[in-house]
Chain A
């Protein structure tokens, strides 16, 4: 998947071979990324087939037990919960991030800066701190329900965490800054006069936004949706701290098996299943955005 940020815009010098130099320069990046990124993924894939040794880590082998367990009824149900939670959070995030980023990029550059600083600072906040902060915010003793009681809107303070909405609210909190930053380059390169043009042609602002702006940014929105979906699906701390066991997602079980139960092969097979499922859904989202899956629809209207 490509971040929208990195789409080439053709402003490059004429590229050329360059002899041995580029290979020398690439040696360290290639080595580092192969050893630290590609090899670990390979090990995880292989590990799913290895045998667990109760007292140690694992021994090399080829067994299918781990995958059988990763795909049993319990873990499939966990997978379903993880995917639906992540999709719900992605949808809510986009409903906020798309109009917000659009309006933000219509402002003068200088006045965007404080918002960008807030977005960057929120994005960098540790998932651990986010989990802690939301558990306070939604708790009975220190939550916003206390403020609502003071304002006379509620009888007594209540605890909203742990719970389903606590997990979703915190997911949206971590996803929102990521979505805004991912949409930002495409949105800020949109012609400033587009919506005004739609306006002078008589379109209502919201209609102009939906019919003129959205089609232009569809790909970026889809890429952002895929990015956010994967990010949220891989979160561990938030479902662990803000959810009940019923909301524990696959990453909670992966970590539990890998660290607490010392069952790395099962953790690895769960990770591979999660990787396959998340990639398939992310690709489907990106295809949806490029219009390839929706092409049948306008064809019906052709004369």
Chain B
């Protein structure tokens, strides 16, 4: 492909991914309660409102709590599962592995409806732990994927060598496997955290407005009255994701965490 065509394709994809967020950023700077783009003037008051208006910061705190615990649950499922699948020969591992990977092979609305039905049957619909557990199981796929990649990149001869030297299973895990997969574990945690923070349909169907998360709050405002605060919050979300993923990229090798080979 010629250099011109290549440049045009990169420009198109980058513009496509950035255009909506640029418009939202422009709208968030309007000094009055209007959604003009280009903005009428420049003001940061809506960013202030996002932090001082309890209608907005309460859902934000709810979201942060849900995302933290959900990501911890996702990792607590993914780490033993990926390790056993890599290390041992246990017949039903493949079945459990398939369960861990399939949430992303289902239309998301079905996962959400399943969560709604489960919590109604268990009579805890609307309680905060429901969204945490359902997010945790749904997002297990992400740390499972990063950890599986990490374990595949680990040189098996290291493990064999340790074993011949008499290291026990837990010593091998503590001294070789865990330190090696730690960046993949952190990346998996971060992916699950950020996706939980942004997840709408499961949160809506498990807790809805009784334990309002930020996406549920934004969606409600989308239907019953736009406000520039929504634009400010959207920009903060995007900026947060960029900072977090840049940090992951700084701490570790992002291409490798996403599945590129180990060379270079």
B113 touches A142 (CB 8 A): no
A65-73, A111-119, A289-297: which one contacts chain B? A111-119
**In the complex, residue of chain B having the shortest beta-carbon distance to the beta carbon of A275:** B110
Quote the shortest CB–CB distance from B124 to chain A (angstroms): 13
B12 touches A96 (CB 8 A): yes
B194 touches A26 (CB 8 A): no
Total contacts A-B at CB 8 Å = 337
Asked if B137 is at the interface (CB within 8 A of a chain A CB), the reply is yes
Which of B23, B102, B109, B156 contacts A142, CB < 8 Å? B23
Which of B111, B113, B231, B237 contacts A136, CB < 8 Å? B231
Instruction: Tell me whether A205 and B87 are in contact in the complex, defined as CB-CB below 8 angstroms, given that A3-B104, A109-B255, A126-B200 are known contacts.
Output: no
B134 touches A36 (CB 8 A): yes
Which of B23, B107, B138 contacts A133, CB < 8 Å? B23
Asked if B36 is at the interface (CB within 8 A of a chain A CB), the reply is yes
Which of B113, B159, B195 contacts A44, CB < 8 Å? B113
- Docked Cα-Cα span, A255 to B17, in Å, equals 28
Quote the shortest CB–CB distance from B79 to chain A (angstroms): 9
Asked if B60 is at the interface (CB within 8 A of a chain A CB), the reply is no
Q: Which residues of B contact A2 (CB under 8 A)?
A: 101
Among B23, B108, B117, B222, the most chain A Cβ lie within 10 Å of the Cβ of B117
Residue-wise interface mask of B (22-52) relative to A, using a CB-CB cutoff of 8 A (1 in contact, 0 not): 0110110000001111100000000000000
Quote the shortest CB–CB distance from A281 to chain B (angstroms): 11
A15 touches B89 (CB 8 A): yes
Asked if A251 is at the interface (CB within 8 A of a chain B CB), the reply is yes
Asked if B260 is at the interface (CB within 8 A of a chain A CB), the reply is yes
B residues apposed to A, CB below 8 Å: 1-2, 6, 9-10, 12-14, 16-21, 23-24, 26-27, 34-38, 73, 76-78, 80-81, 83-84, 86-90, 92-93, 96, 99-118, 120-121, 133-134, 136-138, 140, 145, 148-149, 151-156, 159-160, 163, 169, 191, 194-195, 197-201, 204-205, 208, 214-215, 218-219, 222, 230-231, 234, 237-238, 241-242, 245-246, 249, 253-255, 258-261, 264
Excluding A137-B23, A147-B38, 13 further A-B contacts by CB distance (< 8 Å) are: A11-B155, A22-B87, A29-B78, A29-B80, A40-B118, A43-B121, A100-B13, A103-B10, A124-B241, A127-B201, A184-B259, A268-B117, A275-B107
10 closest cross-chain pairs (CB), A and B: A234-B107, A185-B259, A40-B114, A133-B20, A36-B137, A142-B37, A126-B198, A188-B260, A251-B109, A121-B241
> Can you list 23 A-B contacts (CB < 8 A)?
A11-B153, A11-B154, A11-B155, A12-B86, A13-B160, A17-B89, A17-B90, A26-B80, A29-B100, A33-B77, A33-B99, A36-B137, A37-B103, A37-B111, A100-B10, A125-B234, A142-B37, A173-B20, A184-B259, A209-B1, A236-B109, A236-B200, A268-B117
